[in-house]
Structures are given as C-alpha cells and as structure tokens.
Chain A
Amino acid sequence: MNVIETKNIVYEYPDGTKALKDVNFTAEEGKIIALLGPNGAGKSTLFLHFNGILEPSSGEVLVNGESIGYEKKELMKVRQKVGIVFQNPDDQLFAPTVMEDVAFGPMNMDLPEEEVKKRVKSALKRVGMTGFEKKPPHHLSGGQKKRVAIAGILAMHPEIMVLDEPTSGLDPRGASQIMKLLYDLNKEGMTIIISTHDVDLVPIYASKIYILSHGSIIKEGSPQTVFNDVETIRAADLRLPRITHLMEILNKEDHILFGEPYPLTIGEARRRIRQKAQD
C-alpha cells in the first residue's frame, strides 16, 4: 500500500518561484525511500506537502490513500501520522530544555502525563540522549541537537517519518549512527522518507530512490536502476557513490571489470573482488 502519494502536485511560492512542477511521488508502506537532489531542487518544499503545511497550487496529496483535508482537525490527524524532522534543528528546538521540547508533540496530542513521560524517556534513549533531559538546547552540539529533534518526532509515534537531510552537518560516525537508527525503526515497521546529498549512504539503506531536479522528478527506481543512469545523475549535479565511481574508472581506464552493473556499496564491491580473485 502507498502510505504517501502525491498526484501531479505543482507548488508556486508567493513570490512566483515555481518550486515543484508536476511531482508524482509515492512511498510504499514499510520502506525506506530516499529523495536526492541538488540545493534548491525543491526537496524541503515537497516534504512540507506531506503533512499539509503547504497546500499544492494544483494536484493532490494522499496519506494512507485519503486526500488530505486542510481543516484544522484533519491536519492534526495527518500530522500525528506523518512526523517531519526539519533540516535545521535550531528551527525545531524551541523549548528551554531538552525534555520539554521532546514532550511538546505528545502533549499536543493530549496524552496523559504519565504516557508523555514514558515516551520522552524512551525516545531519548532511542537516540542515545539519556541524561540530557535538563539541558537547554544551546548547550548541545549540532549532532546532539539533531538527535533531540528526531526524539521529538519519535515521541509522537508517527507511522511515517520524514527527515530533511538527517545526516548533514554530522561527523561520519554520527551520520551512520543516525542511519542505523532509521534502519532499526524501519525494521519495526515505520516508513521512512529522507532527503540527502549523501550518495554513499543511500544505496546501503534505501530501497527506492527519487531524483528531484529543478522541481521535477527526473528519475525513480531501485538504487541499481538509478545509479546506472550516470548521465541523469550528473545532470542533476549529483555524483555516483565513491565505490561505484572507482569501479567505473577501473573499467573505463584500466579495463578491469568486476561485472556490471557496478557495485554501489563496499559490501557488494568486496564480494565481487573476492570472487574475481578466486577465479
């Protein structure tokens, strides 16, 4: 089933910028979907349509097969189902302490206080921020802020989690920790949608990739399909994963081929190299 689906949505900002042109995007239940695109492609704009913050100029957005209604009550329901973690954690963390910030969403859902406390505790544990409850956000590092922002959404128990560049600004270890967390959440049944520039991490986790460029989806499919289309990737100012690039060079310059399509991850490359060495 498609938990999120956009049908031919067009969005124009009040100043006339056409940020989205006829976008068809679907997210299947229980998958990790990655949205790739250069700066200014319209990734953040598209995400804001998923929980009804922005209403498309034309076209429609479906959540769990139902068209989003833009009245307050309907929106509240949609926003409980679809949690968005914003690109810049400073935009998201507003409360004086970590605990109050994470509690903000669940409190808005009118849950009993006991339940809120339980959720805050387990969400902070999940992102590895136990012990920071009383800290004000400005005493946290960038990576820590990002995790607290994720905890704030986790505590609302959404069915679908949308993350706008969850790994930007994180050190390599922090980035893979976050991706690991998302992977685990996905294993538990949560649908995850991320936007990113990090083409090395994407093929490890995502089962479907969309490429957005100048407001249009120019390619979609499995990581293998998408990264095979090198022209489109480069036309969208993106690049191949490093390991794939290496394989491409080895093939084209040195005529050493480890089989096609080129491997996208280190694990796959290793398998192919070992195989070749044994032959």
Chain B
Amino acid sequence: MKIIVCIKQVPNTTDVQIDANTGRLKREGVESIINPYDEYAIEEGVRLKEKFGGKVTVITMGPQQAESSLREAIARGADEAVLVSDKAFGGSDTLATSYTLSSAIKIIGEYDIILCGKQASDGDTAQVGPAIAEMLNIPHVSCVKKIEVVDDNSIKVERMMEDGYDLIESSFPVLFTVVKEINNPRIPSLKGKMAAKKAVIKTFNVDSIGADTKRIGLSGSPTQVVKIFNPPQRTGGEKFVGEAKDVAANLVKRLSDLGII
C-alpha cells in the first residue's frame, strides 16, 4: 500500500500573535512543530504500512526549515520525505497551496491513500485536504476517526459527525483528512531518529513539479488578506452571584425583561 501524508509546519502555540502593522503571523522566536493533526495522519499512515506493507511518503510545502518537520515524520516511522520549496510559492493561499501540493503528488506518482490533518493549527481553514483531492480528481472523506476495513478494492471509514458518525466506503485512490480520535501517536523511536538523521530529503521546486506559474504563490492566490487582527477581548457581561435559588430566579427575571424568554 502506497501512502502519502501531507504535513504542514506550524508555530508551536495555539494563540499565535498577529503583527498589527503587517497583518502577518509573528513567527519569530516561536518554535516550529508539525501541525498537531498531521501527527495523527502520520501515525495512521505508519500503522497502515505496518499492517499491509508498503511505504509512507511525507510531503510538505514550505520554506527550507520545514525539513526539520519532515525528519521528525521519518523518526515517527515514515519512509521517505519530499520538501516542496521555492521562493515562487511564497504568499500562497489555500487554492495555490492545494494546486502546488497536488502537482507535486502527481510527480511522486503512484499512491493508494493520501492522508491529511483535519486542519492546520495556524491557517485553520480545513480546505487544503479536500482541495487536493479535487485537483487530483479522486474521492475524499474529511474528519475520519477510524479506518474500519481495508479490502483489495475498497476501504471503509468512519467520518466524525456532531451526532455520531457516518460509515463511508470508497474505492482507491482516496484522500482522508483525520481527526485526533483516530489514534494515539507513538513517541519517535531511537532507530527512527537515527534514520531521520541520515535520511536524504527530496526537494521539488517550481520546475520539478512542472507547475503553471500563474497558479502558484501570490499570483495564484485569489484570496487577498485585507486585514488580520486580534479580536478585542470580551468584557464583563452581567454576573449573578449568591444562592443558586436566588441566582436562578434573578436570571430568569432578567432574561424575560429582555424579552429573550
């Protein structure tokens, strides 16, 4: 089974600060990590390989420093890594990112399953996975919480829903985005870390993926960021304190005065 896992390097913090002047994320001094959801995607890929044989290739689009995340993915059990990096990719929005990644995946060639995280902890759009699938013209299932059965020609998965889950069957090749419920990622092993140290990371640039330069980077990104800002902290609100009975009565009175109930 040939598996490709898309991973993104993100800043290690859930409350990324935004530079008020430039509207960009403040990345200085923040350690870079693998997008947390993508760790689950890597683990699921490695488990599939351990069960059915085959190979796990991790791929990321990002600056040269994203190589460290690829090496960590190898320490976590991936076999090969591809870095898609070029100045021309700078400023990509989700459309350009998905185009670039899907172009690179076409160069990698054969695959049965592509795994992505549900969403990135910084961009947070949850668009890249499904968009890659569209561009490759393959089916996808998002928010997968369990891979149920794998046959020669089909695979059944559980898709997480708010009120339970859907059981979905698909043919190959297929793309899944995964949620944290899917597994419990392993600690990178010593032999994995040694392999990561020695691994040769393949690097693709604009030319090697044969990308249409109009569809990459800023020129390929129809989304324009007008302004990014920290929403103002919510203030005060009304507080009811005291005995539970009195609080409940006061609250009901206030809500009915406001015409809410």
B partners with A: no
Name B's A-contacting residues (CB within 8 A).
none
A contact residues vs B (CB 8 Å cutoff): none
